[in-house]
Amino acid sequence: MAALPNDIYFGGGKLYLEDRDTGDWEEVCLVQSLSLKSTSSTDEVMDYSEALPQVFDEILTKLDYSIDFTTKQVNVQTLSKAFLAEIETGVDNPPVDGIQGATKVTKMTLGKAQQYQGKVKFESENIRGKKILIFLHKVSLKPDTDLSLIGDKAAEIKFSGKAGKGADGEVGYQLRAED
């Protein structure tokens, strides 16, 4: 058995979402921060054999996984996911309230698309340590974005979501280069 990794997870990476129709991975954005969190609930088992009851054991009753990430790569793909937008390209420019001088435009209709639910892959660009891939089988992404349209800082988009078990009973897995 190889030695257990002793990496420092530092740096960014690329986030991919699986296309539900084709099964292909679609690179969505560069990620500045990504965290996978586990939250548990327990039930205490009490020992009543003494005059003063004491906790005898603690049983895990629930384990939830969640994910959140931030990207400063604001593009059509990240905006469409953040605002549940439907994208149409090659649309005739509206004669009223259109973009002056353009004949065709890309139209993003906010709130018309579905929340993303599916597989997520993260490919690290680990500055210190070996390259890693993280696969999550069943993620429901939720946009948590306040997009600054005008300002003195680079815009960023934040997402969070729940990571559930896939058909194989696993939430996901991580692959790490050993050589």
Closest CA to 77 of 23, 172, 141, 166: 141
Predicted local confidence at residue 11, as pLDDT? 61
Predicted local confidence at residue 128, as pLDDT? 64
Q: 134-143, pLDDT tens digit by residue?
A: 899 999 988 8
The dihedral of CA 90, 82, 65, 126: what is its sign? positive
Predicted local confidence at residue 129, as pLDDT? 67
Predicted local confidence at residue 25, as pLDDT? 94
Q: What angle do CA 160, 9, 147 make, to 5 degrees?
A: 35
Predicted local confidence at residue 174, as pLDDT? 84
Low-confidence ranges of the chain (pLDDT < 50): 1-2
